[in-house]
A and B are shown apart, each in its own frame.
Chain A
């Protein structure tokens, strides 16, 4: 009796060891490249100074953050992108994916690829192309003028309002296809017999969409809205390459502000780390809210 018990224990220990050694490398890597920098950044956020002349100053960076106008401008801009762009993109992706899931549609593969293609283009390359498309004498203005939709060229890049619109159009173009793929794969998991039954009961396509598709996709919608929110909060390449945050900080994102503090001005890594941690906190709070609102409580 005792012997077998001991044997069982040693097998369990052996199994546990094998299990741990499998994940050890991954754990080490994650610790080295995720947790260690995260903790270092947290420590850094309590230091103030230029370049390497850093010294601990307690909460002073966080106090500065609360009175920093530029930070609040960046925060406001980022939230405008978030509130306007994420819903547009999610609804658009949902709409397109339902259309493309229709088995009667011809050239489905082509359309899927075409809509997915933007999100494998280089961030910098597409931003630069957008900048020229939306230039004062760029293609978009020329087209709109030729079609007599507008009388004078729109200052897409140099007007505070239109610059924001340009950024929103750019990120919508880049990321809609990405979300569409999630919806498409989720749609394929919905049993077609459910729709069949609905059709027999006389439900219209619109009704099917709202009563079947959306509820069935709820977990995926939650997932895409959280990833899109996080993505938008980290928005950087588009803003830097299209508008450089201008005119007059009207398109500045938080990430670009961090970049400016670290590399454009005299390096202030302590404060930049503080601003980074503000994003961490915002992401945690927003994700919790989204889980609460849309997720199933377990």
Chain B
């Protein structure tokens, strides 16, 4: 028995020695080579139709001027990227991490704060004022600019013209709608066509996020740390509207993304209020061409500063502080950070609406889209992008949302709204320390 213990202890000592040894080696390696420029960089992103396609266009544009730089583009699912980044950055070894990576805006602050010095400071390499205002808060930290703002999550109300006409409405009647009127519209559509107005996943409160951001409000106060749930007027209103929506029997419940997309393409729902990145999925059903239009988002009826513009999702590029960071930063600054012409190609080929202000003045931005009945969808979205209220997403969007999802179920089951939000507040305070 004693021998076993001795053996175990020896192993332990050996292992500890090994692990600290390798850590030192890594640090000297990155310190030594940090300044020299590596001519090969690797970039991680998700979504082949959108982000990867955009990266390929950027790579082409960059290689035209710098043929000596090799850009590797690797596609992972977003959840995998987050997992790989977390494990990589936590283990203390930077081996296997990419030079640049796409991070969703909701998660950006979490990464920047949880792993200080792991991301390269891009201050001076890109000009924050060149981009939409609301993106800067999420991509900068402690006065430094870390991210190159990329796609806008600007939201719009995708709507089936044929259904609303059957329900006795005209498109123009609905341009200045609030969520109350939206629910009324839903009831009318259900009555006349039997279709639901919206498809919702009870695990995803994206619609709530859009509602409160339209009033410049978020789950957290503007410091990005203090939970703001209990006395948040916009959130209260959003909860009430969500419940009303659910109880009006006009919601088609879905359990995941593919069911959500199916409900759109099958013609099961009359509207899709969501981010502009849904466009390729809506257009995927070619037989519905001409039946869709995109309206400004409804606003909150009782919260005075709510506007018809809001955001859902959206992401930006970040450079990892490892050898090759200079090349990666240069690549991003020259492409997504400043190349307005490239954004024209992005728009025509991928349909990706960026947040670089200068890019909004090209021909591609005013091109009518036949699928949406000749509507100038991109220029509409750009207009709304400029109106999105700026909020601080902070570090804990998804942690708080998981608390809210549970409390929302309680609220739907009859618990009082004040109790629901005050319980959520105390849970969030315990969670975020």
Contacts and interface: CB of A to CB of B under 8 A. Distances in A.
B89 A70 contact: no
Interface string B1-25: 0011001100110010000000000
A264 B107 CA distance: 9
A70 B12 contact: no
A53 B114 contact: yes
B290 interface: no
Interface string B109-121: 0110111100000
Contacts of A31: 7-8, 11-12, 15
Interface string B407-431: 0111000000000000000010011
Interface in A7-49: 20, 24, 27-28, 31-32, 35-36, 39, 48
B430 A68 contact: yes
Interface stretch (B137-145, B251-259, B275-283, B298-306): B251-259
Given A135-B259, A247-B202, A266 B408 contact: no
B345 interface: no
Nearest to A68: B430
A248 B83 contact: no
A156 to B, nearest CB: 9
A4 interface: no
A290 interface: no
A131 B256 CA distance: 10
Given A35-B12, A64-B430, A27 B7 contact: yes
A52 interface: yes
Contacts of B92: 52
A42 to B, nearest CB: 13
B12 A264 contact: no
Contacts of A73: 406
Contacts of B427: 69-70
A108 interface: no
Contacts of A246: 202-203, 405
Contact of B398 (A243, A247, A249, A264): A264
A260 B397 CA distance: 13
A131 B255 contact: yes
Interface in B239-256: 253-256
Contacts of A262: 86
Q: Is the interface of B mostly helix, strand, loop or mixed?
A: helix
Interface string B77-91: 001001100100110
A36 B12 contact: yes
Nearest to B202: A247
Contacts of A287: none
A35 B406 contact: no
A231 interface: no
Nearest to A247: B202
Contacts of A243: 255
A64 B90 CA distance: 22
A73 B410 CA distance: 13
Interface residues of A, number: 43
Contact of B395 (A28, A131, A266): A266
Interface string A231-269: 000000000000111111110000000001011111101
Given A27-B7, A73-B406, A248-B408, A36 B15 contact: yes
B259 to A, nearest CB: 7
Contacts of A208: none
A20 B4 CA distance: 10
Given A64-B430, A248-B408, A263 B86 contact: yes
Contacts of B82: 263-264
A157 B255 CA distance: 7
A27 B407 CA distance: 49
B116 A53 contact: yes
Taking each of B4, B86, B90, B255, which has the highest tally of chain A beta carbons within 10 Å of its own beta carbon? B255
Contacts of B4: 27
B80 to A, nearest CB: 10
B287 to A, nearest CB: 20
A50 interface: yes
A225 interface: no
A248 B86 contact: no
B403 interface: yes
Nearest to B115: A51
B402 interface: yes
B433 interface: yes
A50 B110 contact: yes
Nearest to A28: B11
A118 interface: no
Interface in B89-115: 89-90, 92, 107, 110-111, 113-115
Nearest to A269: B90
Contact of A266 (B8, B114, B202, B256): B114
B392 interface: no
A172 interface: no
A160 B405 CA distance: 12
B432 to A, nearest CB: 9
A51 B259 contact: no
B86 A51 contact: yes
Given A131-B255, A157-B255, A51 B114 contact: yes
Contacts of A247: 202-203, 405, 409
Interface string A53-69: 10000000000100111
Contact of A265 (B12, B79, B398, B430): B398
A158 interface: yes
A53 B4 CA distance: 36
A265 B410 CA distance: 22
Contacts of A28: 11
B399 interface: yes
Interface of B: 3-4, 7-8, 11-12, 15, 79, 82-83, 86, 89-90, 92, 107, 110-111, 113-116, 202-203, 253-256, 259, 395-396, 398-399, 402-403, 405-406, 408-410, 427, 430-431, 433
7 contacts: A27-B4, A27-B8, A136-B253, A158-B254, A248-B406, A264-B402, A267-B110
The 10 A-B pairs of least Cβ separation, nearest first, read: A51-B114, A248-B409, A266-B110, A246-B203, A31-B11, A265-B399, A50-B114, A157-B255, A247-B202, A248-B406
Interface of A: 20, 24, 27-28, 31-32, 35-36, 39, 48, 50-53, 64, 67-70, 73, 131, 135-136, 155, 157-158, 160, 243-250, 260, 262-267, 269
Given A36-B12, A53-B116, A266-B399, 11 more contacts: A31-B8, A31-B12, A35-B8, A36-B11, A53-B113, A69-B427, A244-B203, A248-B202, A248-B408, A265-B399, A266-B395
